Chains A and B, each alone.
Chain A
Amino acid sequence: MISRMIQLSEYAVTVEFGDTIDLPTNELVLTFTGAVDQAGIPGLVEVVPTYRSATVYFDARLTDAITVMKDLRALTATTTSAPSRPPITHTIPVWYGGSAGPDLADVARQAGLTPLEAGALHASVTYRVFMLGFSPGFPYLGPVPARIATPRLPTPRRQVAAGSVGIAGTQTGIYPQASPGGWRIIGRTPVLLFSLHRPKPFLLAPGDQVRFVPIEEEVFKELSGDQA
């Protein structure tokens, strides 16, 4: 189960399982990533799984692309889309709308919903963590219910608050830190997705599941206070 293998650089090979965002492709990527993690390939540095491919970084002083590609080809032959483990589900409280979600009203209007309904719809499904990227701990989640799937802002914001929950097409995500960003911001969570002050700095991992639970502003403030 493999579409192609490409050399990204002298020290990195990308194994591509497809070119779309879908569950079976991502399952293949993560199963393969787990297999590479376990395989003990000489010179391996790290594996970066994304929606539809896994990039394998190696130390070019210890091995070379041809050798690594041979090992990877053998691993892909045995990669199936069976999930490697039952997914961990995280419950993440979100304060939808208000000053926490400046774009919720627009998202709701385009969907013909009230802001409250749009928030409830966003929180009505269980999302998959397809990958992490952009910044430390930023999860790419999906798929968003079609009705509220809204494209990115035409011009990104200079500053998005830490914990902001955004929509970009059928993807939804959470900004772990304050940063510039172009996703439509519909709410904010008090949960820290990335913290160096705990044994596991990253809350989420690819393959996990996320459920959002709407909370009121007061609860958000209370929970935020707890972490201060």
Chain B
Amino acid sequence: MPTKPSTIHVLHPGLFTTVQDLGRCGYQRFGVSVSGAMDAWALTVGNRLLGNPDGAAGLEITLQGPELLFEQALPIAITGADLSPTSNGLAIPMWTVVGMQAGSRLQFGMRRQGARAYLTVGGGITGPMILGSLSTHVRSGLGGLSGRAVKKWDQFSVGPVIRTAARSIGRSLPEPSRPRYVTSPVVRVMLGSQTAYFTDEAIRQLTVSPYRVTTESDRMGYRLEGAELPHRASADIVSEAVCAGSLQVPSNRQPILLMADCQPTGGYAKLATMISADRSLAAQLAPGDSLSFRMVSAQKASELLRSNRAELDRLLPPRGS
């Protein structure tokens, strides 16, 4: 039975906090970016712990968390990066459903692991659906709170909490299944649409040299810095679709790893695509971190994605199953 809707007040916005769900599909042909949670796996885990649908909206919290006030009692889960969450001075366990008391505050502290934490709440964060999604895409001003990041004194409405959500308090993702976010992960890639645009040296170099995440990195993409990835001739192609994970290389020979907010199309040659199963690892990086690439086949990438999802379903079955 639904209980009455709940409100969360923003006392401090944090560095960059946005409302995200699993993205805005179906409008890329009109130039609309998919966006959605950078670490969709972490958001999904939070929602499943709470008994929400996978695509319920939560807050994506970047590096420095907000301070929030809960008007009513509400079950929540914090997943993804460990940014030292506390409530009224007490540490809040990660990957676990916790019952926030009416009038309690949620704060964050030091970055212990990862870069993006997800606050999911029983009933999900609600708001106006824009083209089928609540995801915030700041660049085009769509979704979330008027298409922007969270500000001081914003308020969030929470959907009706089903009674089972209250019963989920204490439920957690088993320790061994929690991801370990490192600051220099190895992510796997499959060869891309324009591999033929690159020299053999570029393909070799990609898999032996580490690449640093520069300060010109955000939800749209990471500009990486490392060994040059030379083209055979031109770096430019006639614009075509790109997706999160596409590794584009402009004429400066330094790769750009496209992330959740990427545009639907791009005009740089793509050397490779990061596999979906490793997207969480990349989503948890901040400027100054680095990553290395390993090559896998497209078939292997699909197998890894499938087993990744099967493992999640085994640990935390989706709602309704």
Query: Contacts A9-B245, A10-B298 hold; do A136 and B238 have CB atoms under 8 A apart?
Result: no
Residues of A within 8 A of B192 (CB): 8
Residues of A within 8 A of B206 (CB): none
- Residue in contact with B241 in the complex, picked from A55, A64, A137, A140, CB distance below 8 Å: A55
A134-156: CB near B (< 8 Å → 1, else 0) gives 11111010000000000000000
- Residue in contact with B25 in the complex, picked from A46, A49, A53, A194, CB distance below 8 Å: A46
Asked if A8 contacts B241 (CB within 8 A), the reply is yes
A104-115: CB near B (< 8 Å → 1, else 0) gives 000000000000
Residues of B within 8 A of A201 (CB): 30, 131
Is B121 interfacial (CB-CB < 8 Å)? no
Bound together, the chains give a CA A49 to CA B140 distance in angstroms of 20
Residues of A within 8 A of B301 (CB): 9-10
Say whether chain B's binding surface is mostly helix, strand, loop, or mixed: mixed
Is B237 interfacial (CB-CB < 8 Å)? yes
Bound together, the chains give a CA A137 to CA B263 distance in angstroms of 12
Is A76 interfacial (CB-CB < 8 Å)? no
Bound together, the chains give a CA A118 to CA B114 distance in angstroms of 54
Bound together, the chains give a CA A159 to CA B268 distance in angstroms of 23
CB distance from A88 to the nearest CB of B (A): 15
- Residue in contact with A140 in the complex, picked from B239, B273, B275, CB distance below 8 Å: B239
Is B216 interfacial (CB-CB < 8 Å)? no
Query: Contacts A8-B273, A133-B263 hold; do A14 and B26 have CB atoms under 8 A apart?
Result: no
CB distance from A217 to the nearest CB of B (A): 27
Query: Contacts A133-B263, A134-B31, A136-B142 hold; do A10 and B302 have CB atoms under 8 A apart?
Result: yes
Is B139 interfacial (CB-CB < 8 Å)? yes
Is B246 interfacial (CB-CB < 8 Å)? yes
Residues of A within 8 A of B314 (CB): none
Asked if B30 contacts A12 (CB within 8 A), the reply is no
Is B69 interfacial (CB-CB < 8 Å)? no
Asked if B263 contacts A196 (CB within 8 A), the reply is no
Residues of A within 8 A of B29 (CB): 33, 46-49, 131-132, 206
Is B110 interfacial (CB-CB < 8 Å)? no
Is A177 interfacial (CB-CB < 8 Å)? yes
B263-291: CB near A (< 8 Å → 1, else 0) gives 11100000001011000000000000000
Is A224 interfacial (CB-CB < 8 Å)? no
Bound together, the chains give a CA A49 to CA B149 distance in angstroms of 31
Closest 7 pairs between A and B when the two form their complex, measured CB to CB: A55-B241, A133-B265, A132-B31, A50-B240, A48-B241, A202-B30, A48-B28
Q: Chain B: residues with CB nearer than 8 A to chain A? A: 25-32, 130-131, 139-142, 190, 192-193, 237-243, 245-246, 263-265, 273, 275-276, 298, 301-302, 305-306, 309
Q: Chain A: residues with CB nearer than 8 A to chain B? A: 6-12, 14, 16, 19-21, 33, 45-53, 55, 57, 60-61, 64-65, 131-138, 140, 177, 179, 194, 196, 201-202, 205-206
- Beyond A50-B241, A55-B243, A136-B31, 15 extra complex contacts between A and B, CB < 8 Å: A7-B190, A8-B241, A8-B273, A10-B302, A11-B276, A19-B237, A45-B26, A46-B25, A48-B264, A133-B31, A133-B263, A133-B265, A136-B30, A136-B142, A206-B29
